[in-house]
Amino acid sequence: MKLKLLVLACLFLSFLAISAEAQQKKAAKTNDRVVWLRHLDKIVRPVLSNLAEDKLKEKMPVALSNKIDYKSSREKVSYLEAFGRVMSGIGPWLNTEGGSKEEVTLRNHYRQWALKSVANAVNPAAKDYMQWNGGQPLVDASFLALGLVRCPWLWENLDAGVKEQVITAFKTTRETVPVFSNWVLFTGMIETFFCQYGLEYDPVRIEYGVREFANHWYVGDGMYSDGMNFAQDYYNSYVIQPYLATIVRVAHEKKKNYTWYVPNLLKINQRYAELQERMIHTDGSFPVIGRSITYRGGAFHHLADMALRKQLPESLSPAQVRSALTAVLNKTMEAPSTFTKDGWLNIGLYGHQPDVADFYITTGSLYLCATIFLPLGLPESDKFWSSPAEPWTAVKAWSGQPVPADHALELK
């Protein structure tokens, strides 16, 4: 009898241990998503809540690089920079459904802010009407277009009159001739928006950018040059590869005219995702190289986009990518002086570091960091969120764990 009771007690304790472990795993899964949502809310709330109330220009401070050029015009476009970049990052989350009660409530708040923000940004009678003509406005109109491509819910729920004003604003950017660099993708993205929603679009503006990168600017091992010259920076991630992936997907679905490029583009995208994951150090820091480093976690726009698309290479599990990106978020966003006392981003990579800013950086520019939030567009049941945390490559390598050798991509 005593033996039987002992066995039953052992079984009960084992059950409790298994249950506790399951609860811990569940808590770990939930916590990562909660952490991401907390960061998102802290970064994005000042931008969208104020723009929704037509008070962004009144409330948002515009800090400028110490080396700023064209000071007055940079100040004017900073608001569109903040808005467009935020929307390009949170669009997929706004577009998804479900989640915890708290997440659903938060998303509903942001959906309403987003609807009102778009309306104010394109309404000439609003105080927060944005500037749409000129060089930098082309850049950030394209980020807003990307956000709308990533969030059909938002486009479908805009009033008809607001939709017409969006179309008018985006058409205004056609007057700007893009710089012969990644900028050719900005005009291509705006036409991609028109293409996705069945509006009249210019296929030449799409084709031009795609062919330049596909036929002339691929330099090997998963990377493109930014125009005629290659630079060791994060522009393959900030702009080039996420834009190419989106533009080609939408255009190819429309006309099936990129069969010649789609397979190689996927291989290139996957190789660069591998390189990006290996750049993330054990503490979430990453190499401080190239221009626009003040975009913080935006340096991993591409890796986040590949996770959202569920196109990560077999060498990368969704859980290790989530863990790596979580480390980046915590490293860059929890640094002292990352935010002003009123909650706006300060110029810097790790806190407030004004000297690291390039000549075109303003407060609005910094909000490209929102693109790291793309995987929030995946439901919490997806492996990206539901799998237990895993060490990423740097953690494995520098703790003596087995790590596969890295090999360059050779396209045939």
pLDDT in tens, 86-102: 999 999 999 999 999 99
Read out DSSP for 276-326? HHHHS-TTS-----STTGGGGGGGGHHHHHHHHHT---TTS-HHHHHHHHH
Q: Single out the residue of 195, 157, 53, 41 nearest to residue 113, CA to CA.
A: 53
Query: Residue 320 has what pLDDT?
Result: 98
The Cα 366–Cα 373 span in angstroms is 14
Query: Residue 4 has what pLDDT?
Result: 55
Query: Residue 16 has what pLDDT?
Result: 43
State the angle between helix axes of 2-52 and 71-95 in degrees (0 to 180), rounded to the nearest 10: 140
Query: Residue 367 has what pLDDT?
Result: 99
Across 193-214, b (16+ Cβ under 10 Å) vs e yields bbbbbeeebeeebbbbbbebbb
Phi and psi dihedrals of 88, rounded to 5?
A: -65, -25
The Cα 48–Cα 55 span in angstroms is 10
- Please state, for a pLDDT cut of 70, what percent of the chain lies above it: 93
Instruction: Tokens for 171, please give them.
Output: 């058409």
Fold of 32-397: Glycosyltransferase (1.50.10)
CB of 82 closer than 8 Å to CB of 367: yes
CB of 313 closer than 8 Å to CB of 274: yes
Q: How many residues would you count in the chain?
A: 412
Q: For residues 255-259, give the mean pLDDT.
A: 95
- Kindly tell me if the per-residue pLDDT of 53 is higher than 60: yes
Instruction: Please give the distance of CA 210 from its chain centroid, rounded to a whole number.
Output: 21
Query: Residue 145 has what pLDDT?
Result: 98
Query: Residue 1 has what pLDDT?
Result: 53
Hey, where are the domains in the chain?
Answer: 32-397
CB of 238 closer than 8 Å to CB of 295: yes
Tell me which of 42-46, 70-74, 187-191 is least confident: 70-74
Query: Residue 322 has what pLDDT?
Result: 98
Q: Which residues, 6+ apart, have CB-to-CB distance to 325 below 8 Å?
A: 280, 297, 300, 303, 304, 307, 372, 375
Confidence of residue 56 (pLDDT cuts 50, 70, 90): very high
Q: Single out the residue of 70, 183, 44, 51 nearest to residue 118, CA to CA.
A: 51
pLDDT in tens, 356-390: 999 999 999 999 999 999 999 999 999 999 999 99
pLDDT in tens, 135-180: 999 999 999 999 999 999 999 999 999 999 999 999 999 999 999 9
E strand or H helix that includes residue 219: strand 218-220
